[in-house]
Structure 1
Amino acid sequence: MSEGTVKPDAAAKSVLRSRIESVLHLMTGSVGNAFVMIGSIAFATRALGPEAFGILAMTLAVGRVCERIVRFESWQPLVRFAATEEGTSDPERLSRLYLFGLILDIAGALVAALLSVIVAFVLTSYFDFPREMLPLVAIYAVAIALNLRGMSSAVMRMAGMFRTMAYIVFIAGFLRLLLAAIFYWAGSGLMTFVWVWTISQVVDALLYNFVAFRQLSRDGTPSPLRARVGNLIQDFPGFLGFAFTTNASSALRTITHEADTLIVGALTDSSEAAGFYHIAKRMAKVAMACGEMIQMVVYPDLARMWAGKIKRQFRKTVVSIQGLLALIMGSILVVAAVIGKPLVLLAFGAEFAPAYTILMAHLVAVFLIMHSAPARSALLAMNCPQYVLMTATCSTVLFLGIAFYAIPIYGAIGASFAHIGFGILTAVLLDVWMWRNLNRQASSEDAVELT
């Protein structure tokens, strides 16, 4: 090996170190954004009270459920296919690939916006949901229709722009906080606060796309808006199937991550319970975001490692990230146990004290879900989206079984018990399949070397 050659192990450590730094940058931004979100919710709770805030929570839940069920997580197939296309040095083809993702984003966003209004009409007309939800959901549908972030997210992930992504989220969150504060002091009502959430999400999506298109220009990739549309399915075989599979997995996660607020509202016959649960879930989002960041940072590298057959580095990366997550989540649990209750009382008032117990139970579930994030990214990189979908299906069935049993008995915290069951099953199934595949791959490589 020549003097200037970098050893593979040193290169692996350098990549891993840089990715851990990216995760920490994102976590710093996420923690800041989480406090900004808590501030926004604090203004909303004090302006609206438990019942009206519960209606706001269910309004947002309807929109997010419909969006995530219909919307394609186009960044996942884009990252995987772009990792392969990087070696072809064909900017026009890469531009067309991003166009494929953008078309899926637009179609999914428009259908989701329409679906959210239809679902709100059904819930308010035929079920015991507050009738004022329908016009509120119609307002929030504007944000859903303009939430085109899949393609832009893939561009920034492939470029390693994780710090920029954190800044964008923080800017949108700070705008929401500023507007919430203004309208709290103005004595505004429920509809105004729905507009606050709508406007901040639209700004977030616009910033994502502005930065992503600038990055494509810097990379020398032609704008997807000017790319040739014809024969996308034929030119990128497997892309649409991968997108549908990951979308199905995302839809199942939506039942547990977004529809849970609606399930609490339906099974407890109380918008207040939905509000308590929403607060606890949004606070736990600080930790949940860590798992999502791990996936967005590590997934492009894992896809490149697997495509490049760098299996040893692949294994080390997964193990290291899982260890980092365990350390972070343990710290979050300790901090929440010490200051969680005073924080809830200070931020939201004594009326929302029940949210603390729900928060602690929810954090246990988040710990398990976070542990699963690197394995999920690894399996997608290994082209196993079907197994990820099967795992999501089994875990969702367990979640629903526990939720429909526990919520009527224990109240909103029953949904957190359901999340714990979901997290345990997901962690076991994903870890077992990932390590089974990696060990099988290692055995076959050893056999080849012996021959």
Structure 2
Amino acid sequence: MSDGTTSPQAGGKSVLRKRIESVLHLMTGSFGNAVIMIGSLALATRALGPEAFGVLAMTLAVGRVCERVVRFESWQPLVRYAATEEGANDPLRMSRLYLFGLILDVVGAVVAAVLSVIIAFIITSFFDFPKEMVPLVAIYAIAIALNLRGMSSAVMRMAGMFRTMAYIVFIAGILRLILAGIFYWAGAGLMTFVWVWTISQVVDALVYNFIAFRQLHKQGTPSPLRANPSGLMKDYPGFLGFAFTTNASSALRTITHEADTLIVGAFTDSSAAGFYHLAKRMAKVAMQSGEMIQMVVYPDLARMWVGQKKKQFRKTIAGVQGLLGVILAGIFLVALVIGKQLIEFAFGPDFVASYPILMAQLVAVFLIMHSAPARSALLAMNRPRFVLISAAVSTALFLGIAFYAIPIYGAIGASFAHIGFGLLNAIVLDTAMWGSSKDLPTVEKAETS
């Protein structure tokens, strides 16, 4: 394995300890990238002011909502199926499997890019959103169309390249910071900053794919671009159904993780949407910990499920949930003590209103982080439909709270909705996961997609 990561079957350190080290690598990279991102946001907020920054936030939200609703999270079925295919040691078959994921990536990206422009036109024509969002979203659609990272992400996860994934984000982050600095001093406006975010995301996706294809070559797997595309659905039965189910779960999460900025903008104004977006981006530092946990443990959980390693399975989940609790407690304490001062220092006094939103958001993030390992475990158990149902019920609760609370309490009402979503999702996923893992059934008895 790359990055000095050994396989789960290898001797020596336990899977849990090895994966905690991988998580810490990812967190180091994430923390560094978060500092860089905050620097970029600081330059954008000071250059644009609350109202224009709010328009930037809503522009990015439109693109990300469409991307995550339409785009397949192809890395999830790829990791699940690749874990099964590893034992066959058939490079051609593995190449075709990755091609299947790449096709889903391309189709989803192109459709999402077109849809984002259509949605921008609709919401600015029939709702009280700024008209200038349409050309801005059209620019950002370039990044959406080229954001093909599902297959490449699966390749690196299966290869254990978590250290590489941790630090690759610096490339795009540093580029965005440099460009934001240049155009801040040049006195550039809103459209220029949309181009800054677009270019940096395109570079990130290109680097991701370059490294993934190089890794495939190193491990002797032929390039998926040269693989035979015929008969993919027949050769990998259930793959497309798994992909659609996990995509539906992702689409529901999008309503709470990306569309919430648009909901805030619809019920309030651009400035409030900007405050909310800023608080969410700061809380994203903590949220990424949960995403990294899923990134690191999912391949191992899939392998443990295939190998029926009950004790390791449960120990790994308990260990990473404990680690997440410690991480979040530290982040919350720091934000409580110096959060308001950091916001004023970084973004200016006009954005201090985002502080209470940040604190409420961190409570929600704790709950969402806690459920991330359980979600990974259920996917490894081949239970994507249960995850989808849980997401659907939790999203319904989120929308109910959001539509009630935002008109009354403003942007922080969306954070209250996140707390409700996270609490329900954590209870449901934990209950199902711990109950199902007591007596692991055979793979054949697992829920099929």
- Partner in structure 2 of residue 288 of structure 1: 287
Question: What's the CA shift for 1:439?
Answer: 1.8
Are positions 1:347 and 2:346 aligned together?
Answer: yes
Cα distance in 1 for partners of 2:304, 2:368 equals 24
Equivalence map 1:174-323=2 (5 Å): 174-268=174-268, 270-323=269-322
Q: Is the 8 A contact 2:371 2:426 kept in 1?
A: yes
- Partner in structure 2 of residue 149 of structure 1: 149
Question: What's the CA shift for 1:441?
Answer: 3.1
Question: What's the CA shift for 1:46?
Answer: 0.4
Q: Is the 8 A contact 1:80 1:303 kept in 2?
A: yes
Q: Is the 8 A contact 1:12 1:313 kept in 2?
A: no
Are positions 1:387 and 2:386 aligned together?
Answer: yes
- Secondary structure at the aligned position of 1:64 is classed as helix
**1:9–1:126 Cα change, 3 Å:** closer
Cα distance in 2 for partners of 1:96, 1:339 equals 51
- Partner in structure 1 of residue 334 of structure 2: 335
Cα distance in 1 for partners of 2:127, 2:294 equals 37
Question: What's the CA shift for 1:163?
Answer: 1.1
- Secondary structure at the aligned position of 1:301 is classed as helix
Cα distance in 1 for partners of 2:440, 2:311 equals 11
CA deviations over 1:321-378 (Å, ceiling 9, x no partner): 0011011111111011111111100011111111011000000000000000000000
Are positions 1:104 and 2:104 aligned together?
Answer: yes
Question: What's the CA shift for 1:311?
Answer: 1.2
**1:305–1:12 Cα change, 3 Å:** farther
Equivalence map 1:343-382=2 (5 Å): 343-382=342-381
Q: Is the 8 A contact 2:106 2:148 kept in 1?
A: yes
- Partner in structure 2 of residue 3 of structure 1: none
Q: Is the 8 A contact 1:38 1:283 kept in 2?
A: yes
Q: Which amino acid aligns with 1:404?
A: F
Question: What's the CA shift for 1:198?
Answer: 0.1
- Secondary structure at the aligned position of 1:299 is classed as helix
Question: What's the CA shift for 1:16?
Answer: 1.4
Q: Give me the TM-score of the superposition, normalised by structure 1.
A: 0.95
Q: Is the 8 A contact 1:51 1:272 kept in 2?
A: yes
Q: Is the 8 A contact 2:156 2:165 kept in 1?
A: yes
Q: Give me the TM-score of the superposition, normalised by structure 2.
A: 0.96
Q: Which amino acid aligns with 1:49?
A: G
- Partner in structure 1 of residue 446 of structure 2: none
Are positions 1:43 and 2:43 aligned together?
Answer: yes
Cα distance in 2 for partners of 1:178, 1:252 equals 34
- Partner in structure 2 of residue 423 of structure 1: 422
Q: Is the 8 A contact 2:317 2:374 kept in 1?
A: yes
Q: Is the 8 A contact 1:70 1:108 kept in 2?
A: yes
- Secondary structure at the aligned position of 1:433 is classed as helix
Structure 1, unaligned runs of 5 or more: 1-7, 445-451
Cα distance in 1 for partners of 2:82, 2:154 equals 9
Are positions 1:119 and 2:119 aligned together?
Answer: yes
Equivalence map 1:22-37=2 (5 Å): 22-37=22-37
Cα distance in 1 for partners of 2:93, 2:347 equals 51
Cα distance in 1 for partners of 2:198, 2:9 equals 47
Question: What's the CA shift for 1:281?
Answer: 0.2
- Secondary structure at the aligned position of 2:440 is classed as helix
Cα distance in 1 for partners of 2:10, 2:241 equals 37
CA deviations over 1:380-434 (Å, ceiling 9, x no partner): 0000000000000000000000000000000000000000000000000000000
Q: Which amino acid aligns with 1:214?
A: R
Cα distance in 2 for partners of 1:13, 1:25 equals 16
Structure 2, unaligned runs of 5 or more: 1-7, 443-449
CA deviations over 1:289-330 (Å, ceiling 9, x no partner): 000000000000000011111111001000000011011111
- Partner in structure 2 of residue 92 of structure 1: 92
Are positions 1:404 and 2:416 aligned together?
Answer: no
- Bigger mean CA deviation after superposition, 331-340 or 129-138: 331-340
- Partner in structure 2 of residue 5 of structure 1: none
Cα distance in 1 for partners of 2:270, 2:46 equals 16
Q: Is the 8 A contact 1:168 1:208 kept in 2?
A: yes
- Partner in structure 2 of residue 326 of structure 1: 325
Q: Is the 8 A contact 2:66 2:113 kept in 1?
A: yes
Question: What's the CA shift for 1:168?
Answer: 1.3
Q: Which amino acid aligns with 2:306?
A: A
Q: Which amino acid aligns with 2:184?
A: Y
Q: Is the 8 A contact 1:105 1:149 kept in 2?
A: yes
Cα distance in 1 for partners of 2:242, 2:165 equals 25
- Partner in structure 2 of residue 449 of structure 1: none
Counting aligned pairs with the same residue, the percent is 77
Cα distance in 1 for partners of 2:163, 2:277 equals 28
Cα distance in 1 for partners of 2:379, 2:46 equals 43
- Secondary structure at the aligned position of 1:439 is classed as coil
Question: What's the CA shift for 1:169?
Answer: 0.9
- Secondary structure at the aligned position of 1:72 is classed as coil
